[in-house]
Amino acid sequence: MSSVPQGVAGIKAVLPHRYPMLLVDRVLELVPGERLTALKAVTCNEPWYEGLSDKASDEDHDYPRVLLIESWCQAAGVLIASERPNPDVLSGQVMLFGGISDVRFTGRVRPGDVMRHEVRLSRALTDTVIFEGECLVDGRVVAEIGRVVMAMRPATELTEQVPGTAASSEEKS
């Protein structure tokens, strides 16, 4: 059975990302525990193109590969969040990026393109998930993602101060 978050509002309900780093625009299909298909429209008005001169070539407008991967990983985050509702990332569970391997870029992405992220959950452990998939533009694969590992951790583990650190010393004075 598949379900779909209602556009950007549904995505914002499960991801902590916001402008300019919310890089998923719509979810087309979501099958909890299995797969997700999401879209990201690339425009020339995004902040990463701000410094380009008026004489910049089409190649200069290639979408940064690191952002392509970030966008795909956010789509993977929507998939895992669909199974583990988290009403508040500051007090609930936090998605942490663990690692990525076997990535192959096979094409370019430029303003005007709509990236289609195909995400498959290949393995889920207690608090760790492994994804694989592709990113396509106009039906052609522009990136293959062999493996992405994400972990869910309690937010409190990330906000507690370690004894002896600068922040905990300041709290004492």
What's residue 130's pLDDT? 97
Longest dimension (CA), the chain: 60
Higher pLDDT, 5 or 42: 42
Higher pLDDT, 123 or 160: 123
- Tens-digit pLDDT profile for residues 13-36: 888 889 999 999 999 999 999 999
Q: Of 84, 60, 64, whose CA–CA distance to 21 is shortest?
A: 64
Q: Average pLDDT, whole number, for the chain?
A: 88
* Residues 6 or more apart in contact with residue 167 via CB below 8 angstroms: 161
- Tens-digit pLDDT profile for residues 113-124: 999 999 999 999
- Tens-digit pLDDT profile for residues 55-69: 999 999 999 999 999
What's residue 88's pLDDT? 65
* Banded pLDDT at 169 (limits 50, 70, 90): very low
Q: Where are the beta strands (DSSP E) in 15-139?
A: 26-31, 35-41, 93-105, 114-124, 128-137
What's residue 67's pLDDT? 97
Helix (H/G/I), strand (E/B), else coil: 114: strand
Amino acid found at 107: G
